[in-house]
Copies of this chain bind each other. A is one copy, B any other.
Amino acid sequence: MTLPTADVLAAVDADIDGSLERLFDWLRIPSISTDPAYKADVERAADWAVKEISGLGFTGGKRQTPGHPMIVMHHPGPNTGGAKSAPHILYYGHYDVQPPEPLELWDAPPFEPQLIDAERGKRIVARGAVDDKGQVMTWLESLRAWHKVNGGPPCEVTVLLEGEEETGSPNLVPFLKANAEELSRPDVAIVCDTPMWSLEKPAITWLLRGMCYVEVTLEGPSHDLHSGLYGGAVLNPINALTSILGDLQDDQGRVQIPGFYDDVEEPPEAVKANWAALGFDENAFLAGVGLTVPHGEAGRTPLERLWSRPTADVNGIWGGYTGEGSKTVIASRASCKLSCRLVPNQDPQKIKAGVEAFFRARAPKDAKLTFRFFGVNPGLKVATNTAYFRAAEQGLQDVFGVEPALMGCGGSIPVVGSMQRILGLDSLLVGFGLEDDRMHSPNEKFERACLHQGIRSNAAILARLAEG
């Protein structure tokens, strides 16, 4: 290694208590973006970050939006006299947090961070501990160590912090578009919002499933009917809707939407080998949610089913009488919400058309179908054969001594797609959460070891990226 990473890592280790104190300071600010009562606190959390990052040699600060401010800050990197010696990195994160309710389920007040003893060492408990203040601190504190030892990072760095991630990022896309020239200058983004495989095994998430989410309403009779007077001789919309949905999967668990699997790609063999080596314990996975029997598409491993195979799940259904006791009504309509998780290379518009065709082909002639699509976006993958990806793998291996898991993510991270589409910027999804961190739930936590190893990892990845 040509860069003095050992010194930087030593600086990280020496100041870990300081890192923890700073994270606690930030966690004490209740930056709940969804509740207008906390507007000043959200602003305060942004100011806190600007001040800390400014202290590391960055320029820039808050940028106003119609909602909470964005933060954009720059560091020129080492003075190379204009010759570009290393990639320009963009770090993305968010400084807002979820509301803490229900408060009575917290063991301590959510904005009074605790450091408690747990089975895997010390544990940070607070709203935002992992999502996303703790994760942001893994790269922010790595930049501090680089600043302390070398006067700054070994690359040009841009920071982009958002204050509305927990409200669906309403101003992110307009902001990226309005500032595309400036924000498309970096070569690669690092997004720190994903989990590790385990405390011992880091991970890079490279597959993100997309979504086709639809609400379908099936209408039959013009008004609710008495099942005694009409039952058996008129279309019952609930019977009709359940009959259609009952056809969603065949007995092999394959989704019956036309063309559903046409464009699905198999992951590269190297990735499949990486997954096989993870030793995923399906029984433990199921037991964690009170189940015992494997479920899903036949002939696929559980990690394939979760990461690289598309799905169709009914997320909600309603119709007719749902109160206590009995009411013999034939409802005039029934509705459901259905989401398909999509994988890269599936065309969401084609799936959307397939969903409509699936329902129309099975609906009784007299039924009126209405479709409302709420989210239609493609699956994403990060190229695994780039120098940036190899740098992230190497940096993680430097710190953990093991190969990172190449994970898929069943959910989507919209900012990754937005940056790819609007800025032409690929992301490295390197995060340090654990599956049991209770994101969005009471007693949200972040293991101190995750914070510490995360700072070390980001410091090492930065070195590896700077090597080019």
- A213 near B: Cβ within 8 Å? yes
B-contact 0/1 string along A226-260, CB 8 Å cutoff = 11111111111011011111111100000000000
User: Is A331 in the interface zone, CB < 8 Å from B?
Assistant: yes
**A295 on the interface (CB 8 Å rule)?**
yes
A317 x B315 contact (CB < 8 A) = no
Question: Does the CB pair B293–A233 fall under 8 Å?
Answer: no
Q: Are A289 and B230 in contact (CB under 8 A)?
A: yes
Counting chain B CB atoms within 10 Å of each CB, the highest count among A226, A318, A321, A409 belongs to A318
B316 & A238 in contact (Cβ 8 Å cutoff): yes
User: Interface with B: A27-35, A80-88, A302-310, A390-398, which one?
Assistant: A302-310
CB-CB < 8 A to A292: which residues of B?
Answer: 365-366
C-alpha spacing A135/B410, complex, angstroms? 64
Question: In the complex, which of the residues B220, B248, B290, B325 contacts A239, with contact meaning CB atoms closer than 8 Å?
Answer: B248
Q: Does A339 make an interface contact (CB < 8 A)? A: yes
Once the chains bind, are B232 and A317 in contact (CB under 8 Å)? Answer: no
Query: Per-position contact with B for A293-337: 1 when CB-CB < 8 Å, else 0?
Result: 111110000100110011111111111111001111111001111
Instruction: Specify which chain B residues have a CB less than 8 angstroms from the CB of A234 in the assembled complex.
Output: 286, 289, 291, 295-296
Query: How near does chain B come to A448, taking the closest CB pair, in angstroms?
Result: 24
Determine if B322 and A318 form an interchain contact, defined as CB atoms under 8 angstroms apart: yes
In the bound assembly, the distance between CA atoms of A334 and B292 in angstroms comes to 19
- A26-61 contact mask (Cβ, 8 Å, vs B): 1 or 0: 000000000000000000000000000000000000
Interface residues in A209-231 by Cβ distance below 8 A to B read 209, 211, 213, 215, 220-223, 225-231
How far, in whole Å, are A327 and B286 apart by their CA atoms in the complex?
22
Instruction: Please determine whether A242 and B246 come into contact, CB atoms closer than 8 angstroms.
Output: yes
CA of A293 to CA of B223, assembled, Å? 16
This chain's copy number in the assembly = 2
Residues of B close to A410: CB separation below 8 A: 226-232
Is A375 positioned at the interface, with any CB of B under 8 Å from its CB?
Answer: yes
- In the complex, A238 Cα to B366 Cα: how many Å? 25
Interface centre among A235, A242, A245, A341 (most CB of B within 10 A): A242
Closest to A225 in B: B289
Say yes or no: is A175 at the interface (Cβ < 8 Å to chain B): no
Contact of A316 among B213, B282, B327, B374 (CB under 8 A): B327
Question: A420 at interface (Cβ–Cβ under 8 A)?
Answer: no
Near B by CB (< 8 A), chain A positions 185-218 give 209, 211, 213, 215
Q: Which residues in chain A, 317-376, are within 8 Å of chain B measured between CB atoms?
A: 317-322, 325-331, 334-337, 339, 341, 364-366, 374-375
How far apart are A115's CB and chain B's nearest CB, in angstroms?
27
* A241, closest chain B residue (CB): B242
CB-CB < 8 A to A317: which residues of B? 238, 242, 317-320, 322, 334
Nearest CB in chain B: distance from A288 CB, A: 9
Q: Which residues of B contact A412 (CB under 8 A)?
A: 228
CA distance A315 to B323 in the complex (A): 11
Q: How far is the CA of A244 from the CA of B247 in the complex (A)?
A: 10
The residues of B that contact A314 with a CB separation of less than 8 Å are 236, 238-239, 242, 319-320
A76 cross-chain contacts in B, Cβ below 8 A: none
- Shortest Cβ gap from A300 to chain B (Å): 9
Shortest CB-to-CB span from A424 to chain B, Å, is: 26
Q: Quick check: A221 and B318 within 8 Å, CB to CB? A: no
Q: How far is the CA of A114 from the CA of B154 in the complex (A)?
A: 91
> Once the chains bind, are B238 and A248 in contact (CB under 8 Å)?
no
List 29 A-B residue pairs with CB atoms under 8 Å apart, sorted by A's residue number: A209-B228, A211-B328, A222-B291, A226-B411, A227-B339, A227-B341, A229-B411, A231-B306, A231-B311, A231-B341, A232-B341, A232-B410, A234-B295, A235-B291, A239-B249, A239-B312, A242-B242, A242-B248, A246-B247, A293-B364, A313-B330, A315-B326, A315-B328, A315-B329, A317-B320, A325-B374, A326-B337, A326-B374, A328-B339
Q: Which 7 A-B pairs have the closest CB atoms?
A: A246-B246, A228-B411, A222-B290, A316-B320, A242-B245, A232-B311, A326-B374
Other A-B pairs, 7, CB within 8 Å; known A228-B341, A315-B329, A316-B321: A222-B289, A225-B289, A231-B341, A238-B245, A239-B248, A291-B366, A318-B319
